[in-house]
Amino acid sequence: MNGLLPEGFHDRLPPFADAAAALEARVLDVARLHGYERVDPPLAEFEEALGTRLKAASGKDAVRFTDPVSRRTLAIRPDITAQIGRIAATRMAHHPRPVRLSYAGQVLKLRASELRPERAMLQIGCELIGRDGVAAVREIVTVAVAALEAAGVPGLAIDFTLPDLVEQLAPGMAADRLAALRDALDAKDAAGVAAIDAAFLPLIEAAGPFDAAISRLRAHDSSGALASRLDGLEAVAQAVEGRVALTLDPTERHGFEYQSWIGFSLFAQGVRGEIGRGGSYSVIGAQGDEPAVGFSLYADPLLDAGIARPERRRLFLPFGTDADTATRLRGEGWVAVAALDEADTAQAQLCTHLLTDGEPRPL
C-alpha cells in the first residue's frame, strides 16, 4: 500500500488530518492574539525570485517546471519564510515597521533532508519584520512557546545558539583561520580548537543547561566582549523561564548559517528531532536589508506523535430521524452521522453514541 505514493509523501487519514487542522488553528490563533496577521503566498513562484531569498541548500531542493504562459522557470516553494520576506519587502514595503505576519502551508522538496524523510510538509510560522533586537526575539520566542502550549505539546525545550559569537570574539582573525576555528567548534573538536586558539575552548565547554552555560561564558569573558550578547540572551530566556527546558550551545551553527545574532531550536518530549526553529535574520529589500526575527514549526513530527488528536465522539442518527432534531443536536456540538437507509448501523459508522428516544446514549 505504501507503494501507492512516492517516498517521502503520505496521506494524512482520520484523525490525523483533523489534528493537523487543529494544530494549525491553535498555533495561529495565539499568533493572531499577538497581532500576527496571516499571509498566504502561492505554491509556486518564478524560480529566480524565490531562489535569491532561499538559503542555498533549500534552493537546490525546489521542484522546478517550465511555465507554458511566461515560458520562464517556476519553482514550488521548499520553504515559506522566503516568500514572507518577499511580501514584506515588496507588496508590504509601505507598511510601517515592525510588520507581524503568520502563515501555514504545504512545502515540497525534491529530496528529503538527512533528518527528515518527508518531502511534502506542513510548515507553520510567524515572522516579525523590521526589528531584530532583544524585545523582538523575546516576543517571537514567547509566541512560539505559547502557541505550542496552546496546541497541547508537552515537555517543551529550547536550545539557543549565538551564530556570530565566534566572529564577535575574534574581530581581527584571518578568514581562513576563522573558518578552521568554526569547523573545529562545529565538530566539538577540542584539540583542533586548542591548536588554533585555546582561548576559544570555553565555548565548547559552555554548551549545556542554560544558566550554567551563561555563568561559564561570563566567567571567561574577562574583556566584557560578550556582555551585551549574554544580557540579551538572558532577557530572551527569562520570558519563558520555568515553562520550557533551556539549553545553550553557543557555537552551534549547523542550519543557522543565515541567522544573525541569535538562533534557537524547539524540541518536545516524545517527539523525534526538532519541532521547529527560529532566530534573527535579514530580509533583502529594495532599500537595503531589513532586520527580522521569526520561527517555523514542522507540524509533521508533532502530528506523528499524536499531538492535537481530536476526541472521537460520534452520534448515530437512525434512519428517519427528522432534520430538526439533527440540526438541534449539531447545534449542541454533536458530530451527528445520519443513516442514509435502514441498513446503516452505528457500529459501521464507528459511532460512540446512538440517538435513543430523542437523546444521545453511549454505546
Annotated binding site: 79-81, 123, 127
Interface with a second copy, residue 243, by CB under 8 A: no
Q: Smaller CB distance to a second copy: residue 67 or 231?
A: 67
Q: What residues numbered 186-225 form the site for a second copy, per CB under 8 A?
A: none
Q: Smaller CB distance to a second copy: residue 89 or 185?
A: 89
Q: How far is the CB of 228 from a second copy (least distance, A)?
A: 16
Interface with a second copy, residue 12, by CB under 8 A: yes
Q: Smaller CB distance to a second copy: residue 72 or 177?
A: 72
Interface with a second copy, residue 335, by CB under 8 A: yes
Interface with a second copy, residue 348, by CB under 8 A: yes
Interface with a second copy, residue 90, by CB under 8 A: yes
293 vs 263: CA distance, rounded Å: 9
Q: What is the DSSP string of 181-196?
A: HHHHHHTT-HHHHHHH
Burial (CB < 10 A; 0-12, 13-18, 19+), residue 184, is buried
* CA 88 to centroid of chain Cα atoms: 19
Q: How far is the CB of 154 from a second copy (least distance, A)?
A: 20
Residues annotated within the binding site for L-histidine are 79-81, 123, 127
Write b or e for each residue in 13-40: b if 16 or more Cβ atoms lie within 10 A of its Cβ, otherwise e.
eeebeebbebbbebbbebbeebebeebe
Q: What residues numbered 274-333 form the site for a second copy, per CB under 8 A?
A: 314, 323, 330, 333
Residue 144 corresponds to which cell in the numbers above? 512560539
Q: Smaller CB distance to a second copy: residue 41 or 192?
A: 41
Q: Smaller CB distance to a second copy: residue 258 or 334?
A: 334
Q: Smaller CB distance to a second copy: residue 108 or 213?
A: 108
321 vs 315: CA distance, rounded Å: 12
Q: How far is the CB of 262 from a second copy (least distance, A)?
A: 15
Q: What residues numbered 131-170 form the site for a second copy, per CB under 8 A?
A: 131, 133, 135-136, 139
- Taken in order 351, 357, 362, 363, the sign of the CA dihedral is negative
Type of residue numbered 162: L
Q: Smaller CB distance to a second copy: residue 215 or 347?
A: 347
List the one residue from 27, 28, 54, 158 that touches a second copy (CB under 8 A): 28
Cβ contact 233:162 at 8 Å: yes
329 vs 353: CA distance, rounded Å: 12
When computed from its CA atoms, the radius of gyration of the chain, rounded to whole angstroms, is 25
The strands making up 64-66's β-sheet, listed across from edge to edge, are 44-46, 73-76, 64-66
Interface with a second copy, residue 23, by CB under 8 A: no
List the one residue from 92, 180, 194, 305 that touches a second copy (CB under 8 A): 92
Q: How far is the CB of 318 from a second copy (least distance, A)?
A: 13
Interface with a second copy, residue 240, by CB under 8 A: no
- Residue 140 neighbours by CB under 8 Å, 6+ apart: 126, 128, 278, 293, 294, 295
Among 163-171, 247-255, 341-349, 353-361, the segment contacting a second copy (CB under 8 A): 341-349
Binding mask 36-65 for a second copy (x = CB under 8 A): -xxxxxxxxxx--x-------------xxx
Q: Smaller CB distance to a second copy: residue 98 or 263?
A: 98
Residue 43 corresponds to which cell in the numbers above? 505554491
Cβ contact 146:299 at 8 Å: no
- Residue 53 neighbours by CB under 8 Å, 6+ apart: 82, 83, 85, 86, 284
Among 71-79, 184-192, 265-273, 275-283, the segment contacting a second copy (CB under 8 A): 71-79
Q: Is 77 left (phi over 0), alpha (psi -120 to 50) or beta?
A: beta
Interface with a second copy, residue 242, by CB under 8 A: no
List the one residue from 105, 163, 232, 291 that touches a second copy (CB under 8 A): 105
64 vs 109: CA distance, rounded Å: 10
Q: How far is the CB of 232 from a second copy (least distance, A)?
A: 13
Interface with a second copy, residue 235, by CB under 8 A: no
159 vs 309: CA distance, rounded Å: 27
